[in-house]
Amino acid sequence: MNHREIVLAILIASLIVYGCAGEVQATDTPVEGPAEITDQPANKDAGLQVPAEPKELELRDPLLLSPLDPISGEAEMIAGPVMIKESELVLMESYPVQVLLRVTGDLPTPCHMPRATLTRDDGSGQIDIELYSLTEEDLMCIQVIQSFETIIPLGEYTSGEYRVYMNGELVEEFKV
């Protein structure tokens, strides 16, 4: 191939790439927003209604929120079991040392969410965690086991020996 053929091949390839990529053009025409939502059915025969104000749902990511954090409507919910598969104590490299407990397990249904209560006795070095699940009383839910993973912050510790119990069983001991 001579020099002229190479340049021509590069030029053709560039035009093909440019043509496939498309062209973005700026315009002065405003972009129209979404169609207006009304309470009327889209099709009278279909009978579909669009609610005037959508109901807000509480989204809960167990890795972002602690099961110690309060949730709305918790007092009206029903407590249930949690099947614990594995737990791991994590000591953060900080001062004072921050301690976390990573727990994996199963919930009775996807509608249950893990919850925990934490009690510390700094005098004896005992940390008690009660791990359970909560669900709404009249909620219809598929009856299938749901896996979960959560992180429970146990607090900060400066020095001493500690024992962590979860649902009455010794999980692990640590020394700071």
Give pLDDT tens digits for 98-132. 999 999 999 999 999 999 999 999 889 999 999 99
Is the confidence at residue 40, as pLDDT, over 80? Answer: no
* Local confidence band at 71 (pLDDT 50, 70, 90 cut-offs): confident
pLDDT for residue 142 is more than 60: yes
Give percent of the chain above pLDDT 70.
Answer: 63
If you search the block for the tokens 């839910």, which residue do you land on?
141
Average pLDDT rounded to a whole number, residues 26-32: 48
pTM for this entry: 0.61
**CA proximity to 133, closest of 93, 88, 83:** 83
Which of 4-13, 45-54, 95-104, 115-124 has the least mean pLDDT?
Answer: 45-54
Those residues whose C-beta lies under 8 Å from the C-beta of residue 22, and which sit 6 or more positions away, are none
Amino acid at 117: T
What are the beta bridge partners of residue 54?
Answer: none
